[in-house]
Structure 1
Amino acid sequence: MNSIQANGYDIHFNNEAYLRLNSYLNEKIFSKIFFIVDENTNEYCLPKVLPLVETNTPFEIIEIESGEENKTIETCIQIWSVLLELGADRKSLIINVGGGVITDMGGFIASTFKRGIAFINIPTTLLSMVDASVGGKNGVDFGGLKNQIGTITNPEMVLIDSSFLETLSQREMRSGLAEMLKHGLIAKKSHWEKFKKLSDIDFDTLDELIAESVSIKNAIVTQDPTENGIRKALNFGHTLGHAIETYLLEHPEKEALLHGEAIAVGMILESFISFQQGLLKEEEYLEIKHHLQQIYGTVFFDANDQNSIIDLLIHDKKNEYGKVQFALLNRIGDIKINQTANNEVITKSFSDYNL
């Protein structure tokens, strides 16, 4: 697959990715390389990466615990301290090998350490390949809310190696699939249509779909790097989805959802709101709801859950002038940004979802 030129960096795929990495390492002179991993990517992914890295630059491995609950400023402080202890300087390079937690947080750590050092992302989950790989967003959760502290700083490059997906569970794959479905819903109906029969998708086809999904997101981000306009389209499903994800993480007695699972719920709810606001046709809303529930099932939210989730919306970082902001669908493949919805229609969306 051809590399994709993003805004200030390139995204490379499979074997080409390692060739480009080695070429880059030969051209640049780094004092030391630091690989940031979690216990899973340290065991399953880094052993594949290291033999393919051709450099005489000394390196260190920094391992953190996996999980969204560790995507905090406290973890960053620990890693900044380790970097100092191991002699990291402004000529060091960080290579983040992991899912969205690692690439989001590793990018934030690199972009703030000594006012910014170079970093490369190697996403290892489907979700991070099609979402976190594009756009330069880095950050951590704060105050129990997702991605409240962060930067927009581009990596030197992103390397996507789809062979890492062989280590993922079906649940993790479905989580990543949600972002790919979102890309089709907001920008390219034909991309959405390709997922109608999941049984027909083999590994080679998946490679092509990943590249297409990355291209869709990249085209949007390139137009609006700092999210002042069309990039807000990527928030479809995320206003309610993030609130749902946060609410369930804060209540250990309830079963937490993976990011993509929560976004799938959010896309159904926000599709209903799109329909209620007179944008999306009912038949397209029902198509979206049916297809997503076939893949992700249904999560029941009682009245207390719904009220708590709605209360969390006020803290969403996408809000402007105290108003909750939505990206809503005009139709499959077309989005309308800077939309608002009252609590009544949001509550109604949960009622319809629970049917």
Structure 2
Amino acid sequence: MNETELIAALSALSESSTNRKILVGIGDDAAAWRPSRSRLSVISTDALIEGVHFTRALGNEAIGHRAMAANLSDLAAMGARPVLCTIALGVPRDELHEGVLEMYAAGARLAREYNLTIVGGDVARSPVLMLCITVVGEVRPTRMKRRAGAKPGDLIATTGALGASRAGLDVSQGRVHLRDGLQDVALRAHCFPQPRLAMGAWLAASQSVHAMTDLSDGLSTDVLHMARSSGRRAILERVPVSSSALAAASAQGMDATEYVLAAGEDYELLVAIAPRAFRYLNSRFTKRFGSGLECVGRFEAGEGGAIVGSSGEVPLKASGWDHLRRGDSAGS
């Protein structure tokens, strides 16, 4: 299969769009769409590189799904609705094109699930497998959320318990074996995460939500990102540990809290909420989504962060993912 044939096969997987905003899709030199007059366009790009973000042991479908999920999660964090995306692929010389098609198809399936239209991309030769996805979404100006915006006294919450994806990574690499169905839960969380788009849009509609981001780099790292962007100090008072993370940490003789603080790729949302509104907002959230928000701490005046332990507050260090830190790579 040559480049032209591969591109044609990838285009067929994208299917034609019924999105009226898309004026020109796949097949021309560039795509064109008509932005909404009443909404802001938001854009995000993620590059995923073999050996850095994933290994081939993950499987083609999981690689494609995770790549798309990571980008959609960025839109969720802004409260945005997906509109369109482009996918650029770097393909090694000896790569089997069947595997590339499986990977692309998995990303395209997730895109369709959230009404995201693939409008183009690129294919190039590269030393290792690489995916670079750019997504565009739309959000009302009054509803767009950013990392910045947390106020002193705001409660810090997540949209769910954390650490399942790290447990799935440990399972997939043979570091641990879990029982009672937790193994499947962990693998599903790691290989096929679900971006919290509906939750993000719902939370963004509330004026009591002052800041929001997604938990892609780990709770310790992402809460410090939000604190720094907002010019506040973050105090973590508890860490919501998923059942699979608790089991995986225990099996490896690790502290569950530290395990989750350093875990990444959960793709839950991290939210700063006005304290007086939290109880009511959480009640409505629970009715809407079937589970409640996890309150993990608060913001206060100052800078940096701390975590409350048995001996009081200790400085919070960013122990999650850092692309440029030596040693952080796929499987680390």
Under a length normalisation based on structure 2, what TM-score does the superposition of the two structures give?
0.32
Q: Which has the higher contact order (CA 8 A, sep 6+)?
A: 2
**Would you tell me which structure has more strand in proportion to its own residues?**
2
**Would you tell me which structure has more helix in proportion to its own residues?**
1
